[in-house]
Amino acid sequence: MNIIRGDQYNIGHICTRQQCDLGRGDKVAFRWVSSHQERTNYTFSDLDRESNRFANALQLLGFDAGDILFTFLPKTPEQFFSFLGALKFQVICGTLFSNFGDDALLDRLGDAKAKGIVTKKSLLKKITRIKDQLPSLEYIIVTDIEEHQSQDILSYPALVRQASDDFTAPITAPVTPSVLHYTSGSTGKPKGVLHVHHSILHQSRTTSEVLNLTTSDIFWCTADQGWVTGTSYGIIGPWSLGVTQVHYGGGYDAKLWFDLLQNEAVTIWYSAPTALRMLMREDSELYKGYDLGTLRHIFSVGEPLNPEVISWSRATIGKDIYDTWFQTETGGIMITNRPGLEIRPGSMGTPLNGIEPEIIADDGKILGNNQQGNLCLKTGWSSMFVTYLNNESAYNSKIKNGYYYTGDTAVRDDDGFYWFKGRSDDVINTAGHLISPFEVESVLLEIEEIAESGVIGAPDELLYEKVVAFVYLHKQFTWSKELEVKVRLHVSNRASSIATPQEIIIVDSVPKNKSGKIMRRVLKARYLGQDTGDISTLEE
Ligand code: AMP
């Protein structure tokens, strides 16, 4: 289905005004269920007007096309209005997890030279603490204060009250920058993955072709908007097709989630393996008596989906779970199981038509079936990122001979199914969140008692991987319960609660090679009781 009218590729316009023009103005765009279970319906016409107000407010503040605005919010209606409003005005919108701590925020806002940020009162302190180090940050827009607090701390309600609800998005060329997500690497600071407006083509296509959504569906995507799944499939894909979504502002709660599935009559549900494993662990009695008759399909993304979860779902909900694979850089689903095709539990499925993966060895040789190597994708799909912001060399290092190296390793079987094997770098995937060991190590070194640190991901039954920190203390300090609490709090406050190590191991030294690089491979092998391999360059 062609969603582009004329030359207009603007995501904000297509998801709102265009839906109204197609006669869906009175249709519910999202049913908002707050963390206290209060419900409010927002129609496409509401979404259009509220995002117009926000676009006009940005214009009044002096924003220009190409400026960067971040949202730093839990799931709230303003998240959607400001994201779409910014895009309408061709302001680039970055989204940040609300559990990010000061260092994580500073790295991202500083690198992007953000001009503005939309946040909540409860998160404001995190920004004011680092504001002095962010000379480009002119406006902090707070969704739950009624009046402006100062020249730069502004009230969202006051701003939109005085802004018109009429706004016409400029005709937006396909390659105009749109969405920015930061992703973690194993070395260096997080990288800003930049997308452009024509990503909507692939997001819309996969919403229909993979997620099976039609205008009569009710869709619930549990992903936070800080993550690419939350923007590509919690906003852009479904609304580009006029689909009604459920957005729930609370966290995980098995009973509440099943209440939502049943009472909102959800037809398509998109979630993640850790959440599904948590549901699997609950007492099976909890699920008795629910009627999920409206539910057509369940999809999963973010981590390997273990076959046991699929069996649990078949037995408990009477549905398969379709695993989908993609990443921030791909902007949309690339390899996937989908209704109508055979599911091989444990496999990510097969590539979409037009997506051409290859398994490539480190020396650049394209490998055949059943051989493990780097999972690479032939470049050129519409939702492919266009660069890492301010880091063209990192972008170039990932593209070789027309293939994008995803950082994952995989195997393709004789029938064309892809099987995820792991990462080719040290990035940790905990509950679907990519954590940089380097970021956690840096934050640990801010603690005065800690002399050295090395961080790895270790297998975990629930989270897929857990964060394990090896810590070497300065001689004059000893490890204690108090110090452990201090370390945990520090990582949570500076990096994020998700990056906080599940295990902290005190060591006499952290293995490094001759150039001083932490040998996480050695730490991991020791932790797992495996052979440490070649340690000829090791210097403890
Ligand atoms: P992100 O860029 O944060 O969305 O993380 C993308 C990474 O998560 C991928 O490169 C994989 O390592 C992992 N991932 C995403 N989906 C899957 C999946 N279905 N199976 C295994 N790993 C996945």
Closest C-alpha to ligand 1, atom 23: 303
Name beta bridge partners: 219. Answer: 245, 268
Give the whole-angstrom CA distance, residue 28 versus residue 354.
33
**Helices H, strands E: what count in the chain?**
17, 29
Give the whole-angstrom CA distance, residue 366 versus residue 380.
19
In this prediction, residue 517 carries a pLDDT of 85
- Mean pLDDT for the stretch of residues 252-273: 97
| Cα 325 to middle of ligand 1, angstroms | 6
Condensed to tens digits (0 to 9), the pLDDT of residues 213-243 reads: 999 999 999 999 999 999 999 999 999 999 9
User: Which residues are CB-contacts of 100 (< 8 A; sequence separation ≥ 6)?
Assistant: 72, 108, 126, 226, 495, 496
Give the whole-angstrom CA distance, residue 435 versus residue 429.
6
The number of the ligand 1 atom at minimal distance from the alpha carbon of 300 is 19
Closest C-alpha to ligand 1, atom 16: 302
In this prediction, residue 185 carries a pLDDT of 79
The CATH number corresponding to 201-423 among 2.40.128.20, 1.20.1250.20, 3.40.50.12780, 3.50.50.60 equals: 3.40.50.12780
SS3 string of 388-452?
ECCCHHHHHHHEECCEEEEEEEEEECCCCCEEEEEECCCCEEECCEEECHHHHHHHHHCCCCEEE
Average pLDDT, the chain: 96
Closest C-alpha to ligand 1, atom 19: 325
Q: Give the closest residue to 141 by CA, choosing from 113, 122, 118.
A: 118
Q: Which of 206, 274, 408 to mutate to test the pocket of ligand 1 (most atoms within 8 A of CB)?
A: 408
Condensed to tens digits (0 to 9), the pLDDT of residues 444-480 reads: 999 999 999 999 999 999 999 999 999 999 999 999 9
CATH architecture of the domain with range 44-196: 3-Layer(aba) Sandwich (3.40)
Give the whole-angstrom CA distance, residue 387 versus residue 99.
26
Banded model confidence at residue 537, pLDDT cuts 50, 70, 90: low
348 Cβ below 6 A of ligand 1: yes
In this prediction, residue 539 carries a pLDDT of 63
What's the fold here for domain 429-528? GMP Synthetase; Chain A, domain 3 (3.30.300)
Give the whole-angstrom CA distance, residue 419 versus residue 380.
23
Residue extent(s) of CATH 3.40.50.12780 domains in the chain: 201-423
In this prediction, residue 513 carries a pLDDT of 84
Which amino acid appears at position 378 of this protein? K
Element (H, E) at 468: strand 464-473
Give the whole-angstrom CA distance, residue 247 versus residue 316.
24
| Residues recorded for the chain | 540
- Percent of the chain at pLDDT exceeding 90: 95
199 Cβ below 6 A of ligand 1: no
In this prediction, residue 538 carries a pLDDT of 61
Condensed to tens digits (0 to 9), the pLDDT of residues 421-445 reads: 999 999 999 999 999 999 999 999 9
Condensed to tens digits (0 to 9), the pLDDT of residues 400-421 reads: 999 999 999 999 999 999 999 9
Tokens of 460: 């975990």
φ, ψ for residue 361, nearest 5 deg:
-75, 165
Name beta bridge partners: 119. Answer: 72, 142
Helix axes 437-445, 102-112, angle to 10 degrees: 120
In this prediction, residue 540 carries a pLDDT of 60
Closest C-alpha to ligand 1, atom 5: 327
In this prediction, residue 532 carries a pLDDT of 75
DSSP character string of 169-184: PPP--TTSEEEEEEE-
In this prediction, residue 187 carries a pLDDT of 78
> Is the model's pLDDT at 535 over the cut of 70?
no
φ, ψ for residue 254, nearest 5 deg:
-55, -45
Residue extent(s) of CATH 3.40.50.980 domains in the chain: 44-196
φ, ψ for residue 83, nearest 5 deg:
-60, -50
- Percent of the chain at pLDDT exceeding 70: 99
Give the whole-angstrom CA distance, residue 118 versus residue 154.
9
Pairing of strands 139-142, 153-155: parallel
Residue extent(s) of CATH 3.30.300.30 domains in the chain: 429-528
- Strands (E) across 277-320 are located at 297-301
Condensed to tens digits (0 to 9), the pLDDT of residues 494-528 reads: 999 999 999 999 999 999 887 778 999 999 999 99
The CB density around residue 123, as the number of other CB atoms within 10 Å, is 20
> Is the model's pLDDT at 1 over the cut of 90?
no
User: Which residues are CB-contacts of 158 (< 8 A; sequence separation ≥ 6)?
Assistant: 146, 147, 148
Q: Give the closest residue to 182 by CA, choosing from 442, 405, 332, 390.
A: 390
> Is the model's pLDDT at 529 over the cut of 80?
yes
The b/e string for 164-182 (b: 16+ C-beta within 10 A; e otherwise) is ebebebeebeeebbbbbbb
SS3 string of 79-103?
HHHHHHHHHHCCCEEEEECCCECHH
| Cα 518 to middle of ligand 1, angstroms | 25
498 Cβ below 6 A of ligand 1: no
| Cα 240 to middle of ligand 1, angstroms | 24
Chain center to CA of 18:
26
325 Cβ below 6 A of ligand 1: yes
> Is the model's pLDDT at 157 over the cut of 70?
yes
Chain center to CA of 86:
19
Tokens of 392: 């063209």
Banded model confidence at residue 186, pLDDT cuts 50, 70, 90: confident
> Is the model's pLDDT at 41 over the cut of 70?
yes
323 Cβ below 6 A of ligand 1: yes
Give the whole-angstrom CA distance, residue 447 versus residue 414.
51
Closest C-alpha to ligand 1, atom 9: 327
Chain center to CA of 473:
34
> Is the model's pLDDT at 397 over the cut of 90?
yes
SS3 string of 29-86?
EEEEECCCCCEEEEEHHHHHHHHHHHHHHHHHHCCCCCCEEEEECCCCHHHHHHHHHH
Q: Give the closest residue to 88 by CA, choosing from 245, 249, 239.
A: 239
Closest C-alpha to ligand 1, atom 21: 304
96 Cβ below 6 A of ligand 1: no
Helix axes 481-494, 437-445, angle to 10 degrees: 120
In this prediction, residue 145 carries a pLDDT of 98
> Is the model's pLDDT at 74 over the cut of 70?
yes
Helix (H, G, I), strand (E, B) or coil at 1: coil
Banded model confidence at residue 70, pLDDT cuts 50, 70, 90: very high
Chain center to CA of 490:
23
